[in-house]
Structure 1
Amino acid sequence: MNKFIKLFKKDKDEFGYLTDEPFDIRKIIPVAALLAVAIIAVVIVVVINSGKKNKTAGTVDVVTETTTAQSVTQTGSASDTATLSSDEEKQEDPQYEADMGMSDEGSGASVTLSAGGNETADTTIGIDVSKYQGTIDWAEVASSGVDFAMIRVGYRTQKTGVIYADTNAKYNMQQAAANGIKVGVYFFSSAVNESEAIEEAGWVADYIANYNITYPVAFDCEGFDSADSRQNGMSNDDRTNVADAFLQEIYSRGYTPMFYASASHLTGNSRWNTSTLENNYKMWVAQYPSVPYPDTSSTSYSGACAMWQYTSNGNVSGISTNVDINVAYFGYSQSAGTMSGETAAAASADVEANMNFTSVNDTVTAKEYVRLRNKPSQDTDSTIIATLNNGETVTRTGISDSGWSRLNYNGQNVYAVSSYLTTDLSAPTQAETQQFMTQFISCNDEVTPKDEVNLRSKPSYTDSDSVVVASVKNGTILTRTGYNNEVGWSRVVYNGQTLYCITSYLIVK
């Protein structure tokens, strides 16, 4: 495919990421609050957290108070529709800072990718994307001369160690392939030992099993020096062993493994045992010259480099944000296709929202409340039309496999995150009954905390009436009488009281 890349001056937009999480009153603390109050609050939090923390490799930290009920997911079995709020993304999604232009390599020169020019048969041009690129028009991307896309499929949170699927991953894999773009994927790891790394790789392999993956499956690990990262303090040997375990498992599952890092972290074994990795795997290196490829013909990094990420400041038709652009010094003759077992017609984009929806006809309401948008996207390319509250009903006309519902609201097609909707119209509102919105499946088993867990009066962090009644540690036996997989809470009995805690912090005896 012929193509060229030219310099293009463009100012970056500054934006905040939107969320469909339930409202958290703590987020509207006035900016003008007295400095003394803020200092006291910070001191209290630090004292409480320092009293709780006792991290060891392979152990999930004590439950924090920053995660909402809807975002909690069992480690190793991530929900496609679980999301984090904007504040939680800053703390928990290890890719947040990289996509906000805070990579240790900077952002690189601004470039625009378009069809034309000359490339050798062995050199291919690609992009790497995540949910931070919003809803992508892959037909437009294909027309820009993109050969391949490295798509983020998920990540493990850097504080709590929970695995989440990228909310746009399935849509991106399906639609990229449907438009003739070859697909590779990457996972953002915060594993602290080899067991967790193998778990991550197994989760990735299972997640992508029904998609046409032509390019490599990459391991990405950044932000490990952050004071809040569960990987803080790990040695180069420890990190390299974790990466090696992930990549070996990917290889055993039939995919081509690849390791991603910045040039500065690889040079001189700065943050990794570089020779160990480059002797066994394809290396994907981020290094951003002031003058982009092809005017700068190759990376200044002197080590092995199979794929070069030469800017994070790219402009590609069909993507509303800046995007990373890569040169791969390899290609594949296979033509990328749609999902395994699907016809081309089944994989075509929905004409209204450029997303594949299965038609349904049911009546839904919000579990609590949910924002209705003009596009199935939580980024700045969508507009909030209205808020649907529990008890208000709308007709749902479609469900996408990437976690969105299409609704008819006042005669207009709008979109909402499916996990915040329910077809159970009989459930009363919280205001009417002062009862919980969370519905539990009855069970009767014995559980104990993996490490330590807070037991609350209600299955909620944000409800002002939800208080921590007790904190119990591993070895304390609790009787579990109910669980909810959708929001990740368990109902337990402790000292004769019915209390609530996060399922992912428990193990069954």
Structure 2
Amino acid sequence: MQARDKSHARGIDVSHYQGKIDWAQVRASGISFAFIKATEGTTYVDSMLSTYLAGARNAGVLVGVYHFCRAGTAADAEKEADFFINTVNQQGGIANLDLPPVLDIETTNGATHLTISCQVWLNKVQAACSVEPLLYTYPYFATSYLDASLGNIPLWYANYGVNQPVDVAGWTRWRFLQYSDSGTVPGISGPVDMNEFDGSEEELMGYQMSVADANKVIAFLSAAYNATSIAAAQDEFHRLANELRKASGQPEQ
């Protein structure tokens, strides 16, 4: 996988455990984004979801939300996806957020292989939100319970104390990296998870674009690519198409 970089945008992820947050201080400290816990299982909504979303937005922090998975079967995963979608829609929907939705998979609930459950949740949420979700996991879990077929899903990877994570399961890149679970950030009392995005804050600001909208523009760029024989122009059309894929959470080509 790629190495960390000082130019990358820095962020945090939070749940009710962080308590009251002074988001103006968080933003002033250089934090660009925050993933906020939305749901867990099929019944739990984080008590600070609405408060954190409002506070972070008002302070200029880019926001996304995540679901903590408890599903051990495909049927359970479908129910959890529906619950997550309904909860996020009550907050204005994914379109009102800056970052893609996230499936946080780090517990088995007795299952021995969770790839199919992940695929069910990811596919249902993408179909409902028109944005490709991220998958959050960590090295041991990815190696033990997930397989390479998930390698095309954008990865939010928890790997602490490592400047350049090694490849794992089917992944050779991370989109977001959680590099510490004990960070200190002004405006937050106590430790907080620290993250970075694989790009600058400016790139992060344009990250979320629906797959459908991105593919419409990519089709136009492909036609322009095929209509010219000028190598420099073809290279630029290809670069722009990949930027659109990245912005909509799709793998580059």
In the superposition, the TM-score normalised over structure 1's length comes to 0.36
How far apart, in 2, do the equivalents of 1:192 and 1:288 lie?
A: 26
Give the C-alpha shift of residue 300 in structure 1. Answer: 4.1
Q: Which residue of 2 aligns with 1:258?
A: 134
Alignment of 1:211-290 (within 5 A): 212-224=96-108, 231-232=109-110, 234-236=111-113, 239-253=114-128, 254-266=130-142, 269-273=143-147, 275-279=148-152, 281-289=153-161
- Given the alignment of the two structures, is residue 298 of structure 1 paired with residue 164 of structure 2, yes or no? yes
Structure with higher strand content: 1
* Residues 464-483 of structure 1, C-alpha deviations (whole Å, 9 max, x = no match): xxxxxxxxxxxxxxxxxxxx
Q: Which residue of 2 aligns with 1:148?
A: 33
1:182–1:335 contact (8 Å) kept in structure 2: no
* Residues 351-410 of structure 1, C-alpha deviations (whole Å, 9 max, x = no match): xxxxxxxxxxxxxxxxxxxxxxxxxxxxxxxxxxxxxxxxxxxxxxxxxxxxxxxxxxxx
State the secondary structure of the residue aligned to 2:189: coil
How far apart, in 2, do the equivalents of 1:328 and 1:278 lie?
A: 18
Give the C-alpha shift of residue 168 in structure 1. Answer: 0.4
Paired letter, 1:214: D
State the secondary structure of the residue aligned to 2:204: coil
Paired letter, 1:192: G
Give the C-alpha shift of residue 151 in structure 1. Answer: 0.5
Alignment of 1:50-449 (within 5 A): 119-120=6-7, 123-156=8-41, 162-209=42-89, 210=92, 212-224=96-108, 231-232=109-110, 234-236=111-113, 239-253=114-128, 254-266=130-142, 269-273=143-147, 275-279=148-152, 281-289=153-161, 297-301=163-167, 303-330=172-199, 331-334=203-206
* Residues 174-196 of structure 1, C-alpha deviations (whole Å, 9 max, x = no match): 21112111111111111122222
Paired letter, 2:72: V
* Residues 98-127 of structure 1, C-alpha deviations (whole Å, 9 max, x = no match): xxxxxxxxxxxxxxxxxxxx943xx32110
Paired letter, 1:241: I
How far apart, in 1, do the equivalents of 2:15 and 2:176 lie?
A: 18
* Residues 28-52 of structure 1, C-alpha deviations (whole Å, 9 max, x = no match): xxxxxxxxxxxxxxxxxxxxxxxxx
State the secondary structure of the residue aligned to 1:260: strand
Q: Which residue of 2 aligns with 1:45?
A: none
The gaps in structure 2 that reach 5 residues or longer are 209-253
1:299–1:308 contact (8 Å) kept in structure 2: no
Structure 1 pair 335/223, CA: closer, same or farther in 2 (3 Å)?
A: closer
1:125–1:147 contact (8 Å) kept in structure 2: yes
2:81–2:124 contact (8 Å) kept in structure 1: yes
Q: Which residue of 2 aligns with 1:386?
A: none
How far apart, in 1, do the equivalents of 2:187 and 2:207 lie?
A: 21
Paired letter, 2:122: L
In the superposition, the TM-score normalised over structure 2's length comes to 0.70
How far apart, in 2, do the equivalents of 1:223 and 1:215 lie?
A: 24
State the secondary structure of the residue aligned to 1:176: helix
Give the C-alpha shift of residue 141 in structure 1. Answer: 0.7
2:155–2:174 contact (8 Å) kept in structure 1: yes
How far apart, in 1, do the equivalents of 2:61 and 2:125 lie?
A: 22
State the secondary structure of the residue aligned to 1:332: helix
The gaps in structure 1 that reach 5 residues or longer are 1-117, 157-161, 225-230, 290-295, 337-509
How far apart, in 1, do the equivalents of 2:112 and 2:51 lie?
A: 37
How far apart, in 2, do the equivalents of 1:333 and 1:169 lie?
A: 21
1:215–1:256 contact (8 Å) kept in structure 2: no
> Aligned-residue CA RMSD in angstroms?
2.1
How far apart, in 2, do the equivalents of 1:219 and 1:326 lie?
A: 16
Structure with higher helix content: 2
How far apart, in 2, do the equivalents of 1:176 and 1:203 lie?
A: 23
State the secondary structure of the residue aligned to 2:184: strand
State the secondary structure of the residue aligned to 2:145: coil
Give the C-alpha shift of residue 301 in structure 1. Answer: 4.7
How far apart, in 2, do the equivalents of 1:221 and 1:335 lie?
A: 22
Overall identity of the aligned pairs, in %: 28
1:197–1:243 contact (8 Å) kept in structure 2: yes
Identify which of structures 1 and 2 has the higher relative contact order when contacts are C-alpha pairs closer than 8 Å and 6+ apart. Answer: 2
Paired letter, 1:317: P
State the secondary structure of the residue aligned to 1:259: strand
Q: Which residue of 1 aligns with 2:235?
A: none
> Which has more radius of gyration?
1
Give the C-alpha shift of residue 299 in structure 1. Answer: 2.6
2:38–2:45 contact (8 Å) kept in structure 1: yes
State the secondary structure of the residue aligned to 1:208: helix
* Residues 407-442 of structure 1, C-alpha deviations (whole Å, 9 max, x = no match): xxxxxxxxxxxxxxxxxxxxxxxxxxxxxxxxxxxx
Paired letter, 1:286: A
Give the C-alpha shift of residue 321 in structure 1. Answer: 1.6
How far apart, in 2, do the equivalents of 1:307 and 1:248 lie?
A: 20
